[in-house]
Amino acid sequence: QVQLVESGGGLVQAGGSLRLSCAASGPTLGGRVMGWFRQAPGKEREFVAAITWSDGTRIYTDSVKGRFTISRDNAKNTMYLQMNSLKPEDTAVYYCAASHWRPSPSIVGAEYPYWGQGTQVSVSS
């Protein structure tokens, strides 16, 4: 089983930055896709970003393009989400997730059977 441990959430002023980390253990991440999702109160879970572990192919939801950067450190089995220019509407619980083998990133939560515990990101105005 892939196990995911998140860190880096917190409270920040609008315009500030946070970096989320997701450390993975268990089976190899090779061949998998890793992703970030978020869920704000009263809203559906929303795709944020994803990356293929093998070649680093990245995708983002439109609302975070140019502000967020997803990356990976293969040696550390860790995925990151650098969040800059944060806005109050970015406030949500952020989850990291891992897929089974797949060749390209996916925006669909059902493609990710392994999930972290979630970390709260709060952006004040």
Rounded Cα distance, 73 and 65, in Å: 21
Phi/psi class of residue 105: alpha, beta or left (left: φ > 0; alpha: ψ in -120 to 50)?
Answer: beta
* Residue for token pair 């441990």: 5
Task: Check residue 25 and give its pLDDT.
Answer: 95
Task: Check residue 104 and give its pLDDT.
Answer: 94
Beta bridge partners of 96: 36
Task: Check residue 16 and give its pLDDT.
Answer: 98
Low-confidence ranges of the chain (pLDDT < 50): none
Question: Which of 100, 1, 90 has its CA nearest to residue 49?
Answer: 90
